[in-house]
Structure 1
Amino acid sequence: MTTDVRRATAEARGTTSGIRFDAVSVAYGSTTVLDSLDLTVEPGEVMALLGPSGSGKTTALRAVAGFVRPVSGRVFIGDRDVTDLPPYRRGIGMVV
C-alpha cells in the first residue's frame, strides 16, 4: 500500500497523526536502551515492535506517551514535536 493510499485511508477514518522518532536515545542511568532510533509510522499504518527482552520496545512506547524523556532526539505525533510535552498534553494513551 502506498503512502498516499495509507494517508487517504487514515483521513477517511479520522486518524491523520503518524508517529516519528528522530534520532531518539533514551538512557536509564548509564545504560542506553534506545540509541538513535529513527522510525516513522505513517497515519493509518499498523506496525509492530518485535525483539527480545530488554531491546527497547516498551521504552520506545513510553517515549511516545511521555513517560520517559529522551536524552537526545525528538518525538513527533503528526507534525507536532511532543518531546517536551507532559503525557496529559499529548492526546494519546498507552496500555502495557
Structure 2
Amino acid sequence: MTSIRIDKLKITYGDTTVISELDLMIENGEFFTLLGPSGCGKTTLLRAIAGFITPASGHIAFGEQDVTKIPTYRRNIGMMF
C-alpha cells in the first residue's frame, strides 16, 4: 500500500457542497477509519478516492502520483464498506 494525500478536496452535487476544502493524509501502513452520522460525506469521500466521483476542485494523490483525473479502472484500488 502507499500513502493517500487529499488536498483542498471539494465535492458538490449540483448546488449542494458535500465536502468542502478537505485536507487529509493517510500514511503508508496506517490503520484508518471513517466515522460519522448518516449524510456527513463518508461514502462520498470513499467514492472520490476510488475514482467514482470527480471532485469540483482539489487533488487526490497515491504516494507522489496525482490520481484526481485518472479513471477508476487505472487506480488499482478497491472499495469496501
Alignment gaps of 5+ in structure 1: 1-14
**Structure (1 or 2) with the greater strand fraction:** 2
> TM-score, with normalisation over the residues of structure 2?
0.96
Q: CA deviation at 1:50?
A: 0.8
**Which AA in structure 1 matches 2:11?**
V
Say which one has the larger Rg: 1
RMSD over aligned CA atoms reads 0.8
**Which AA in structure 1 matches 2:42?**
K
> TM-score, with normalisation over the residues of structure 1?
0.81
The aligned length equals: 81
Q: Which residue of 1 aligns with 2:41?
A: 56
Cα shift readout 1:18-69 (whole Å, capped 9, x = no counterpart):
1111000000111111001100000000011111111111111101000001
SS at structure 2 position matched to 1:55: coil
**Structure (1 or 2) with the greater helix fraction:** 1
Q: Which residue of 2 aligns with 1:47?
A: 32
Work out which structure has the larger RCO, using CA pairs closer than 8 Å and 6 or more positions apart in sequence.
2
SS at structure 1 position matched to 2:46: helix
Of the three residues 71, 75, 78, the one matched with 1:86 is 71
Alignment gaps of 5+ in structure 2: none
User: What pairs up with 1:27-42 in 2 under 5 angstroms?
Assistant: 27-42=12-27
